[in-house]
Structures are given as structure tokens and as C-alpha cells.
């Protein structure tokens, strides 16, 4: 057990883990996002079996490593924000199951398509891979959209959870809009990645489709901002100490239109998140139009980071609001684990996250270069 003098303040630890959770989610969106985007484009940018093998082999060696960010994000929510984990994984059970099915089928499709000679069977698995990519990207965005507008849950006096929503309830206008933002954003990111990793007709198609996806992303993101202004957001009206023990029932919350944008007035620096999202997308459009793959890739990554960050800073200090019992909403300051737990986790994160970054960088350095028909044919382990 750590001595008390070695512990950071409870309020500071909660804020640090809110930032770290955002970093992990951004890491997942940027790193695994282009894997999903490439999978979604597979049936369209590659129309022959040889072309599809090239596209699949651009992500084949790295997709497993990229999903480390997804695992880290889920683990961080479980350990740092147990109430959030309980509500989201219980309430969104069917939606989460659907996401997991699409993630499981992705490697199955990549492996199975390479085990058959029949063009029809290979084509079927290619379409399964593409559909799984499209569904995963959309469902993740729909989940974020529902979190922004609140989820129907409550606690009793013993902190037992009651969730009153259903799978169909997640399909609402704002949730669908966020799903489309996620879909077009990651399709843009995947297309940009393909322009760096392939050449010839595949890269040309990816460039054209990527431009369309980037323009749609920018349009939908701006539309989402106007829509958010009209939504009933959440605002804390009671005073509470940032170092109080975690208990979501010790506050009062009201819903009011425009509350999702209140943080930008209270904390002007937060405007950097949506600004980064729009500037990044514009940079990706410029890079694709000028055929500058590196500019497009860096800008696309920044755009993805900005859009994901926008969701987080718009909700702060809420992590998961309750649409039916606003006072039971989960925030950064009343839904976290203990001070000691957060401190031990921080020490582990300081040690292991840099290791993940170092080996990830090394892997990409070793594997970098364009995937061509010749390299696929020469590699025994190719898909």
C-alpha cells in the first residue's frame, strides 16, 4: 500500500484519468480506425481477387496490435470508472454484443478467405469483412451519440442499477447522425491509409473515395454541432467537493437546451477540440487533392483526434448522463474508483503506455512500405 504522502490529490487523479481515458479512446480511433476504414472500403476499392489481397495485407500484420488500444480503453473504464462500466456494459449489452460480433468476424473473414480457392467463397468473406467494418464504425458512433444525450438508467439507495432502455431506443436521430460522423470519419482515415500503403488503381480509387468521405465528415460534423445546440444537455446545479467519495446520488442536475455547448463558454480552451477536428479534415482534403499522402495521413489523424475529443469536452464533467434521472448521472468526480486505486493505475500507465508506444512505433517502422502484387505473391504468410 502506498504511503499517503505519495498519493496525488483525489481531484487531480480523477482529472488525470479523465484525460488518460480520452487518450486511450483517441488511440483506438486513430490506430484501429484506419483498419476498420480499410475493411469498409474493401469491396469497393478492390474489385479483383489480387487487388483485395493487397488491400487486406495492408492491415493484416497490424490490426491485432491496433486493438490493444480498445482493450486498454475498456480496462481503464472498468478499473477507473466502475459505475460507468456497469451502466454501459449492462445497458448497452445487445449493442456491445453486436460490436463484438463484428470485431470477431473481422479476423475470421481475413483468415477464411485465404483458405479457399473458390472465387465465390472468397468474395463472400470479403463482403462479410467489409460489412463488419461498416457496422463497427457506425455502431460505435451511435453509442457515443446516445451517451451525449443521456441514457435511461437509475440507481436505488443501495446503488443497484436499473436500465429502462432497449436496443431500438438507441436508433434515434442524433444517435444516427453521430453514427454517420463516425462512419465517414473512419472511412476517410482508412482511405488515406490506403493511399500510403498501395499504388496504382487501388490508391487512385482510395483517393477519390477518401475525398468524398472527408467532405461528408466535415459536413456532418458541423451539422452535429448545430443539432447539439438544440439538444437537452445536462448541467450540475448543486455544490460538491471535488475530493468527496464517489457517490452519484449526492448532486442535483437539470436538463436544458444548449448545455452541451456551455463548456466552451466556461472553458474557452476547449474550443481547440472541434477546431482541431475541422482543421484536420480540411488538411486531409488538401492532402488527398494534392496527392500528398503524408500530409493527408497526419491531418486525418488529427481530425479523428479532434472529433473524438469534442465529444469528451462537450460532456465534461459528465461521463455518462442519465436521461430519466439526471441527478443519477455519472461524472468525473462521483463515479471513479478510490484515490489509491487511481494512483496505482497511474503508476502502471506511466510504465506500460510508453512501452506500447515504443513497440508500436518499431512494428510500423519494420512493416512500413507499399504493399504490391509482387510482395503479396512473395510472402507465404499473406492473406
Q: What is the pLDDT of residue 382?
A: 62
80 burial level (CB within 10 Å; 0-12, 13-18, 19+): buried
pLDDT band, very low/low/confident/very high, at 68 (cuts 50, 70, 90):
confident
Nearest-angstrom CA–CA distance, 40 and 48: 16
Secondary structure class of 242 (helix, strand, coil): coil
E strand residue ranges, 152-295 = 153-155, 161-163, 232-236, 253-257
Percent share of the chain, pLDDT over 70: 97
C-alpha torsion 67→73→78→84, nearest 10 = -130
Q: Tens of pLDDT along 184-210?
A: 999 999 999 999 999 889 999 999 999
Res. 5: pLDDT tops 60: no
Q: Tens of pLDDT along 303-347?
A: 999 999 999 999 999 999 999 999 999 999 888 998 899 999 999
The better pLDDT of the pair 268, 116 is held by 268
What would the mean pLDDT of 60-78 be, rounded to a whole number?
A: 85
pTM of the model: 0.92
Amino acid at each position: 500500500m502506498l504511503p499517503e504522502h505519495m498519493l496525488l490529490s483525489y481531484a487531480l487523479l480523477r482529472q488525470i484519468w479523465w484525460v488518460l481515458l480520452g487518450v486511450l479512446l483517441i488511440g483506438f480511433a486513430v490506430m484501429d480506425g484506419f483498419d476498420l476504414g480499410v475493411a469498409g472500403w474493401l469491396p469497393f476499392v478492390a474489385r479483383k481477387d489480387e487487388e483485395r489481397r493487397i488491400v487486406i495485407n495492408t492491415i493484416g500484420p497490424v490490426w491485432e496490435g491496433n486493438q490493444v488500444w480498445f482493450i486498454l480503453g475498456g480496462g481503464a473504464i472498468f478499473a477507473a470508472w466502475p459505475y460507468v462500466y456497469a451502466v454501459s456494459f449492462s445497458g448497452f449489452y445487445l449493442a456491445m454484443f453486436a460490436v463484438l460480433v463484428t470485431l470477431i468476424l473481422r479476423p475470421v473473414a481475413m483468415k477464411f478467405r485465404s483458405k479457399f480457392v473458390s472465387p465465390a467463397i472468397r468474395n463472400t468473406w470479403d463482403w462479410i469483412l467489409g460489412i463488419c467494418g461498416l457496422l463497427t464504425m457506425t455502431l460505435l458512433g451511435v453509442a457515443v451519440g446516445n451517451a451525449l444525450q443521456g441514457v435511461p438508467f437509475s440507481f436505488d439507495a443501495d446503488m443497484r442499477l436499473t436500465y429502462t432502455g432497449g436496443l431500438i431506443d438507441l436508433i434515434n436521430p442524433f444517435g444516427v447522425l453521430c453514427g454517420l460522423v463516425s462512419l465517414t470519419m473512419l472511412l476517410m482515415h482508412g482511405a488515406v491509409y490506403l493511399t500510403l500503403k498501395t499504388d496504382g488503381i487501388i490508391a487512385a480509387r482510395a483517393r477519390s473515395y477518401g475525398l468524398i468521405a472527408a467532405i461528408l465528415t466535415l459536413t456532418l460534423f458541423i451539422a452535429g454541432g448545430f443539432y447539439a445546440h438544440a439538444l437537452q444537455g445536462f448541467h450540475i446545479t448543486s455544490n460538491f467537493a471535488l475530493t468527496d467519495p464517489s457517490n452519484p446520488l449526492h448532486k442535483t442536475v437539470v436538463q436544458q437546451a444548449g448545455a452541451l455547448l456551455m463548456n466552451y463558454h466556461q472553458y474557452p480552451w476547449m474550443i481547440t477540440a472541434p477546431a482541431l477536428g475541422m482543421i484536420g479534415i480540411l488538411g486531409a482534403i488538401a492532402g488527398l487533392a494534392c496527392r500528398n499522402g503524408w500530409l493527408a495521413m497526419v491531418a486525418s489523424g488529427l481530425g479523428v483526434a479532434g472529433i473524438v475529443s469534442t465529444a469528451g469536452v462537450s460532456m465534461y464533467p459528465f461521463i455518462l448522463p442519465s436521461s430519466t434521472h439526471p441527478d443519477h448521472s455519472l461524472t468525473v468526480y462521483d463515479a471513479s474508483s478510490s484515490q489509491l486505486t487511481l494512483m496505482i493505475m497511474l503508476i502502471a500507465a506511466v510504465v506500460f503506455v510508453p512501452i506500447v508506444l515504443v513497440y508500436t512505433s518499431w512494428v510500423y517502422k519494420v512493416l512500413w512500405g507499399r504493399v504490391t502484387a509482387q510482395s503479396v505473391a512473395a510472402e507465404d504468410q499473406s492473406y
